A and B are shown apart, each in its own frame.
Chain A
Amino acid sequence: MALLEVKNLDVRFAVRGGDLTALRRISFSLDKGERLGLVGESGAGKSVAAFSILNLIAKPGYIAGGQILFEGKDLAAMSERELRKIRGNRIAMIFQDPMMTLNPVLTIGTQMVEAILAHRKISKKEARAIALDRLQKVQIPSPEKRLDQYPHELSGGMRQRVIIAIALLLDPEIIIADEPTTALDVTIQAEIMDLLLNLCEQENVALMLITHDLGVVSQVTQRMLVMYSGRIIEQGPTREIINDAQHPYTQGLINALPQMGEPGARLFQIPGSMPSLKNVPSGCPFHPRCNFATDQCKRAMPEYVRSGNVDVACYEVANLIEQEKRMQEAES
């Protein structure tokens, strides 16, 4: 049984004039110790997906349907009280901006001890010892000093290390990291991602990494899923997707990267932009921007087809697989 299994998750926003669907029947799973990447641009719904696992979506957002099975129990159906036992304890979360996540008027030590004591009945001294241990794990220099320092006394990279330490305090099963390095410089980003990867391997903690950076996904994750307009359009082993993306959107995303372009020549660009929640096109949401769109694409959202180890939601890909099968059959 997978550690986390999301089945047909539907998340909507209740605004005037009707409900907007942010996530439409999302399904994916996460095994123990596995590192999964959620990739997409802004508006695709990846942050919404991450937040909804712990039911942290602010009103007017709400979970409209589906299940979020953590060790067999449905998180979407749980009460606030039960969810609080899981948040920070079994499933931890890391956010993008460390300055927003840390309370500026409390010392690091106070915040860490508070987090531990919320879930464990131990003494303050023991909690402080655990906090110290985690700070050492994230390789912060002079960790004893840090416990008594305030967030503004630390640099951006160090703060993010503290955040990771806080996430590890209670030995969670899963860490959800929402764009943890987007606000950091590239050399610091490399350090942090390296640290996160090593820690997850050592402690056998599952990682759900939300990011728009394909390079980071390729370096850190084992499996990835690509989101577009609230749907997962491609899902599978990271290496396979990066090397040979099937869905036209994924291909476009990779080809648009400057590192893929010829120096001095125009970059490959996907025309148009991701539709807002109010204007989601019918059928496959990518069809207005897709070179391969046919009438079929406008009518209904494509089902997943398997190509290698990758699941893709695209009629064109489905057709190509059909053709290949027929050719193979014709040969035999």
Chain B
Amino acid sequence: MTSPLVSIRGLEKRFDLSGSFLEQLRFEGGRLRRKQEAVHAINGVNLEVQKGEALCVVGESGCGKSTVARTVMGLLSPSAGEIHYGGQRIDNLEGKAALPYRRKMQMIFQNPYASLNPRMTIQQTLEEPIRFHHPDWSPVQVRDKIHEVMHSVGIDPDWGSRFGHEFSGGQRQRIAIARALAVDPEFIVADEPISALDVSIQAQVLNLLMDAQESRGLTYLFITHDLAVVEHFGTRVAVMYLGRVCELADTKTLFAMPRHPYTQALLSAIPKLEDDRPNHIRLQGEVPTPVNLPSGCVFHGRCPYANERCRQEVPQLIATDGGAQVACHAVEEGRL
């Protein structure tokens, strides 16, 4: 078993909502109390990304998938747990020590309209990272690299002197991909890279990402809410709900045989072209907020199979006979 490229261990992330000291004081039950609230975005996630694979993390809003992406990239620091890259712990690195990893790990963002600096030309946007990570390169080398990477994403290098707002959403996303590829990374985190694009453009950009993976031997951590994309693009899938992974499996296995009740509901909710009417598993109740997490299994409030144990005990990811890992008492007990 080869060691994974990226390893996420026991990751937890809380965002403090308490406010300043004065805001925390509340008058409750006749006494002055100090109230502290937090958004529990990630509550114990363990994931490994193998070299060369495309691990997709799916879930709906509030599940913490974007927070995982940002923590892996170092934009946020974990409240607990560790991030490892190539066997080396990286979440506690800063400044110069972190620099080599900044080059090897790159990120593509969701909003193509905000991910390019409106005051910089494309040329400047692409040039800066190259110059920063290769200070010894000559201007000719830099220029050649820019041209090469613009070609590979399908943008004419002659348009380098234009600004971001002169391009369409799909083109901007290509430029953002070019920026990520310009420093020759090994690992790319893509946070919903095609959600903001039109359907026909989504196909173009997805193809581009797949081509890049093949020609450059990239490893992807792909965050998305679109299961159809996952089925097409991913090697393995992790389904997240309220900060925990409920199911982790090969793409084929997950779509053929989803085990976790949430995964089943999620898959049934995708509107399919063959359907004549909406045809999905109906979940009861509302999505709880990540501020007041339910006890036990975070899904128990909406799950048709919840029992007492589900209300008390947090299920762990356990391997099942199909090859998937599922965090569900009902599956473990053989009830499902």
The 8 A CB mask of A179-204 against B (1 = contact, 0 = none) is 00000011111110110010000000
- What chain B residues lie within 8 Å of A193 (beta carbons)? 271, 278
The one of B200, B229, B265, B271 that contacts A41, using a Cβ cutoff of 8 Å = B200
A183 CB, nearest partner CB in chain B, Å: 10
Q: Residue on A with the closest CB to B283? A: A187
- What chain B residues lie within 8 Å of A158 (beta carbons)? 286
Q: Residue on A with the closest CB to B194? A: A258
Contact stretch, chosen from B15-23, B134-142, B204-212: B204-212
A259 CB, nearest partner CB in chain B, Å: 4
Known: A42-B198, A215-B270, A263-B251. A269 touches B276 (CB 8 A): no
Asked if B225 is at the interface of the complex by the 8 Å CB criterion, the answer is: yes
Known: A258-B206, A258-B232. A253 touches B200 (CB 8 A): yes
Asked if A239 and B276 sit within 8 Å, CB to CB, the answer is yes
Asked if B307 is at the interface of the complex by the 8 Å CB criterion, the answer is: no
Asked if A256 and B231 sit within 8 Å, CB to CB, the answer is no
The one of A219, A256, A258 that contacts B233, using a Cβ cutoff of 8 Å = A258
Asked if B199 and A187 sit within 8 Å, CB to CB, the answer is no
CA distance A215 to B277 in the complex (A): 10
CA distance A261 to B204 in the complex (A): 13
The 8 A CB mask of B190-233 against A (1 = contact, 0 = none) is 00000000111111101100110000000000000111110111
The one of B170, B201, B229, B286 that contacts A155, using a Cβ cutoff of 8 Å = B286
A214 CB, nearest partner CB in chain B, Å: 6
Asked if A242 and B278 sit within 8 Å, CB to CB, the answer is no
Question: By CB atoms of chain A within 10 A, which of B274, B278, B280 has the most?
Answer: B278
CA distance A254 to B211 in the complex (A): 22
Asked if B210 and A273 sit within 8 Å, CB to CB, the answer is no
CA distance A187 to B227 in the complex (A): 12
Asked if A190 and B278 sit within 8 Å, CB to CB, the answer is yes
Question: By CB atoms of chain B within 10 A, which of A42, A256, A260 has the most?
Answer: A256
- What chain B residues lie within 8 Å of A308 (beta carbons)? none
Asked if A269 and B275 sit within 8 Å, CB to CB, the answer is no
Asked if A321 is at the interface of the complex by the 8 Å CB criterion, the answer is: no
CA distance A304 to B170 in the complex (A): 31
- What chain B residues lie within 8 Å of A42 (beta carbons)? 198
Asked if B251 and A187 sit within 8 Å, CB to CB, the answer is no
- What chain A residues lie within 8 Å of B92 (beta carbons)? none
Asked if A95 is at the interface of the complex by the 8 Å CB criterion, the answer is: no
The 8 A CB mask of B144-184 against A (1 = contact, 0 = none) is 00000000000000000000000010100000000000000
CA distance A190 to B231 in the complex (A): 19
Q: Residue on A with the closest CB to B289? A: A155
CA distance A267 to B229 in the complex (A): 10
Asked if B280 and A257 sit within 8 Å, CB to CB, the answer is no
B294 CB, nearest partner CB in chain A, Å: 15
Asked if B275 and A218 sit within 8 Å, CB to CB, the answer is yes
The one of B201, B231, B251 that contacts A273, using a Cβ cutoff of 8 Å = B201
Asked if A194 and B273 sit within 8 Å, CB to CB, the answer is no
CA distance A60 to B1 in the complex (A): 64
CA distance A218 to B276 in the complex (A): 6
CA distance A258 to B200 in the complex (A): 10
Asked if B278 and A269 sit within 8 Å, CB to CB, the answer is no
Asked if B272 is at the interface of the complex by the 8 Å CB criterion, the answer is: yes
- What chain B residues lie within 8 Å of A187 (beta carbons)? 60, 265-266, 269, 280, 283
Asked if A194 and B278 sit within 8 Å, CB to CB, the answer is yes
Asked if B270 and A269 sit within 8 Å, CB to CB, the answer is no
Asked if B206 and A267 sit within 8 Å, CB to CB, the answer is yes
The 8 A CB mask of B248-287 against A (1 = contact, 0 = none) is 0001100000000000011011111111111110110011
A103 CB, nearest partner CB in chain B, Å: 23
- What chain A residues lie within 8 Å of B60 (beta carbons)? 185-188
CA distance A213 to B251 in the complex (A): 23
B30 CB, nearest partner CB in chain A, Å: 27
- What chain B residues lie within 8 Å of A213 (beta carbons)? 271
- What chain B residues lie within 8 Å of A254 (beta carbons)? 273
Please name 13 pairs of A and B residues whose Cβ atoms are closer than 8 Å in the assembled complex, sorted by A.
A141-B286, A185-B225, A189-B271, A191-B282, A197-B277, A218-B271, A219-B279, A253-B199, A256-B199, A263-B231, A266-B210, A267-B207, A270-B200
| Besides A190-B268, A194-B280, A270-B203, 11 new A-B residue pairs in contact (Cβ under 8 A), listed by A number | A41-B201, A190-B271, A219-B271, A239-B276, A258-B228, A258-B233, A259-B270, A263-B231, A263-B232, A268-B203, A273-B200
The 5 A-B pairs of least Cβ separation, nearest first, read A215-B271, A185-B60, A256-B203, A190-B269, A258-B228
